[in-house]
Amino acid sequence: MPIKTIACCTDFSTNAKAAFEEAFDLARKYRAKLFLIHVLPPVINPLTTETEWVLPAEDTKALILNLEERMQQEYGSRLTGQIDYELVILNGHISSEILTFLEKNRIDLVVMGAYGLSGMGLVLFGSVAKRVVHKAPCSVMIVRSRT
């Protein structure tokens, strides 16, 4: 299977950082383009009305700018000049956004941590990794941190 495009999903957790290391090594080995993806989940408070579920556009823009800076500092600074890469910030339901991106961009391999920062979210909403494994249009590599 030729690997020309790799996506690595990050939530900045320990497992996501381990996934980044694997994805970076694979991208170098196969000379593949690496897409680093972070999904900004919708802010939902079940005690508010529907009109209050969405952040004002100014807050979302500032948050996205902060995420872009963080991704560049943590990942992009290591990749520049080494491989072809793109930092991607998506907004919406995490697993749905990832799956849509994988299909649209014809990704050959997605690399992600076994679990991330979601904690209680895993109990309430299920595992993002599990959903991606079951529905991805490409091969999936799940990475666990060794620490």
State how many domains the chain has: 1
CA distance to 6, 46, 89, 110, 112, per residue, from 73 (Å) = 20, 34, 14, 22, 19
Q: What is the domain range of residue 135? A: 5-143
Instruction: Report pTM.
Output: 0.83
Q: What tokens were used for 27?
A: 């991208």
Q: What local confidence, expressed as pLDDT, does residue 141 receive?
A: 95
pLDDT along the chain (147 residues), means of 10: 93 91 96 96 61 58 89 91 94 94 98 69 59 94 82
Q: What tokens were used for 63?
A: 């948050």
Nearest-CA neighbor of 9 among 93, 72, 94?
A: 94
Q: Taking a C-beta distance cutoff of 8 angstroms, is the pair 113, 8 a contact?
A: no
CATH number at residue 48: 3.40.50.620
